[in-house]
Amino acid sequence: MYEHLNDIFITERLAKRLTEIEESEVTTVVAPMGYGKTTAIRCWQGRMKREHPEAVVLRQSVFSDSVNDLWRGFCRLLAKRNPTLAEHLREAGFPQDLRGCGLIADLWEEHRSACEAPVWCVLDDVHLLPPGALSCFLSFLPEGLEGFHMVLLSRNRILTRPEQLCLGRHLCEIRMTDLALSETEMMQYVSRCGVPLDERDAAKMMQVSEGWISLIYLFLRSRSQGGGWGFDAPNVFALIDQVMLEPLSERQRDFLLCCSAAEEFTLSQADFLWRALRGGDDAGELLTALSENNAFITVSEDGLYRCHNMLLQSVRSHLSQRPEHERRTLSARLGDWYLRQGECLEAMREYRKAEDWEGLLRALVADRGNSLDGEQHDAIIDLCENCPVEMLRAHPEAILVLTMGCFSVGAFPEMMRMNDLLLEVTRQSTSMSEEERNNYLGESQLLLSFLQFNSITGMSAFQRRAGELMTRPTRCLDLKSPWTFGAPSVLSLYHRDSGALDEENAQMRDCMPWYERISDGHGRGAEHVFAGETCLMRGDLNGAKISCLRAVEAAEEKQQHSILAAAAFLDARIDLLEGDYARMKKRVEDLRTALRKAGQLFLLTAADMCEAWCFALLGRPELAPEWVTDSAAASLKGPAWPSFLTVRDQVRLAHGDFAQLIASGERRKALFEEQHALLPAIYLHIHQAGACAGLDRRDAAVRELKTALALAAPDRLWLPFAENAPQLSCLWDDIKQSVDNRRPLLRLTERFMASRAAILREHFPARWDEGLTDRERNVAALAAQRLSGHEIADRLHLSENTVKTHLRRAYEKLGISGTDRNKRAALERIAGQ
């Protein structure tokens, strides 16, 4: 063996490219397997350590298509440097949209010292992630996270052309052409290794390898072992077998096969597996012998070993030919290792490979369902369908966790089947105490209640029975999870039937004590927010204030932050109606501070929606958090989704995005009807009316407004109409007869418009045309120049009726009233200031 054969070789050309990494926020290294991507970055990392010892380089390999796995792994690495920041990032979750990216940026700035060293995150095997999984975060990175850099290694293209252009000078791209050896560089490498090579063999090596350094290394290794060059090997894996596996002793090969069960491993992990498979105590000696003379087995500074992907693929091919019981034993033992480390999801995966159902159910119970998110949908279905029923029968606690997991991922038929099995096991058990049996029966009733969302009557019936049976808090749900699912409004979640709001309030007051009893106060105060929102919608501000105070007092007792967030949203809308902008703004800021302090980062979305709503109503949608108008708010789905869509549509209406609102209207209507989301449906029809009016589609606007009134009037829900008065005022003359008693609506509208105008005068004394849509601004500007309606219509290619509509709305938003002549004169004065 030539002593320099395993030395790292980096060409001068590549070394120069690697220096560019330090100046770039994002670096991509893209080439097929075996071109030295990992080795090149490891070399750069070593140089960074020597020249910039203060720099932090976090290296992580991607092993699956799960972004959540990726994020958890990154947070574990970061915890060694900054545990506080790592914990907050873990709570925030992987950033899949602008809101998530903004939250990560805030946390990064808040918990990372200004003098702290820059951080490079190296991700290997990025091609395993879904296409575009990192796109949003990478585009946000250059301007959003100071001192944070990413180095991405992949066999396939990572960025699209538009994404490359977006990153621009912030991007360093290292390609296959940078990594492949030229003929001259190949000769330098061979010379460095000390292996003699004549001109004819050099030409053949270059022809066969095309500069592929891993193949060149294998040729040199074959030659150094006394054989031929191996140019005639049928493929690279046959050559790996020939030069790397066949020379090993049987014990060394067995040990390597044992270690190949894990993507990467420590010495203690290898020892744990080796003792299980062969009962050996020589793992350390074997690992040293295998790694010290093999460039395809590397070890990191923190003792983490990894086989090169080509070697790993070859070894696993041999492992697949071993007896099935041996492979299952190895997977089961690896599952034991992960479970001991508290990595329950990884343990479940290995136990499933081993078909060790006993171990899998143990890991499931230990996890308590915390890892059973949407990415695990197929795994949950697989467990329900393939785990032997008798094994499930022996583990009722696992059935309970699995039933809740089915609910979490929307696998409702499987949920019902598992729930039926839980009931059967519980009733037939002869070993359970009466108390334990009743607790499981109660858990079953609680799980069934979730299928009744958002029928308060239906949920209440199941939860009352659960409360009568159970003597302890439930174990089937996370009591720290937000009761509101992240929505800022309880009324938007639970108001289901037109004309039934008073009855729904009574039901909510009756059922919440039963639910709180079995959930240790989860959602405490929700009934008071529900009542307060009802009062607010009817214009009863005093009633709303009283209920809100009760909600806050109740929620604080049990630290129910989602209820506190909903109460803050209620308070902010009260402030807006009272014209107190400073108090409204402070309330949102205080909510954000409290949520951050409590580690309730998910609920920051509710604070953002509250702020966006208020700014939209003030006609200042540009001040709303940017992510609210993003088409993919990935972190908000399920029951909270209608609430988010309502907020987003309110912002879009204020922006004047009328065509977009109308285009999405039918889909919204179907979704809200399916989810029985009545309050979002009322707002939807109002938004559609405003959008149609903005495009001079008066008949359609009137129809939408009448529909909204038909849904809202039986419960006296007047606030949605008052809040949208600037967009709706031109329509009321056509539907006066649709409202039996307009006085409460008129009073609330007058109050809202007066408070809005006062806030705008005091806090937004900016340009005369701010708050107008682009079309209203254009029409008003031409009217201020004394152009007639006909001339404006001709200039802007609009109908005269459309011009009249936009001008009327501009007058209303600018607070101009009087005769047409006086309004024109006032507009001219304002525009000339």
Here the tokens at position 684 are: 């939807």
Name which of 193, 241, 244, 185 is nearest 209 in CA terms: 185
For residues 408 and 674, what is the distance between their CA atoms, to the nearest angstrom?
18
| C-beta separation of 334 from 261 below 8 A | yes
- C-alpha 537/C-alpha 492 separation (Å) is 12
Q: What is the mean pLDDT of residues 809-813?
A: 80
- 824, pLDDT greater than 80: no
pTM: 0.80
Sign of CA dihedral 67, 486, 655, 677: positive
The whole-number average pLDDT for the span 258-265 is 91
Closest CA to 144 of 107, 91, 96, 90: 107
229 with 201: CB under 8 angstroms? Answer: yes
Q: Is the pLDDT of residue 361 over 60?
A: yes
Position of tokens 């992987």? 94
The yes-or-no verdict on residue 293 having pLDDT over 80 is no
How far is Cα of residue 100 from the mean position of the Cα atoms in its chain? 7
Q: What is the pLDDT of residues 146-196, one digit of tens each?
A: 889 999 999 999 999 999 998 999 999 999 999 999 999 999 999 988 888
Q: Which tokens sit at 646?
A: 């309502």
CA of 157: how far to CAs of 125, 127, 153, in Å? 11, 8, 10
Torsion sign over Cα 296, 8, 191, 5: negative
CA distance 495 to 720: 14
Task: Give me the long-range contacts of 355-358 (CB less than 8 A, separation at least 24).
Answer: 355/328, 356/328, 356/331, 356/332, 357/387, 357/388, 357/391, 358/391
Quick: pLDDT tens for 700-744.
999 999 999 999 999 999 999 999 998 898 888 777 655 566 788
Tokens of 768: 């005369």
Residue range 331-343, pLDDT digits in tens: 999 999 999 999 9
Residue 145 sits at φ, ψ, to 5 deg, of -125, 95
Confidence category of residue 822, pLDDT binned at 50, 70, 90: confident
- Return left, alpha or beta for 194; rule: phi > 0 is left, psi -120 to 50 is alpha, else beta: left
DSSP assignment letter at 244: I
Integer Cα distance of 262 and 260 in angstroms? 5
CA atoms of 109 and 256, how far apart (whole Å): 44
Tell me the three state secondary structure of residue 806: helix
- pLDDT tens digits, 665-698: 999 999 999 999 999 999 999 999 999 999 989 9
- The string of pLDDT tens digits covering residues 535-572 is 999 999 999 999 999 999 999 999 999 999 999 999 99
Tens digits of per-residue pLDDT, 432-470? 999 999 999 999 999 999 999 989 999 999 999 999 999
Q: Write out the two tokens for 731.
A: 């329509």
**Banded model confidence at residue 767, pLDDT cuts 50, 70, 90:** low
Residue found by looking up tokens 């079309």 in the block: 775
Tell me how far apart the alpha carbons of residues 579 and 215 are, in angstroms, rounded to a whole number: 74
Q: Closest Cα partner for 725 from 648, 802, 647, 809?
A: 809
- What is the radius of gyration, based on Cα positions, of the chain? 33
| Burial letters 571-590, b for 16+ CB under 10 A, else e | bbbbbbbbbbbeebbebbee
By three-state DSSP, how is residue 280 classified?
A: coil
Percent pLDDT > 70 in the chain is 96
Peptide bond into 542 cis (omega under 30): no
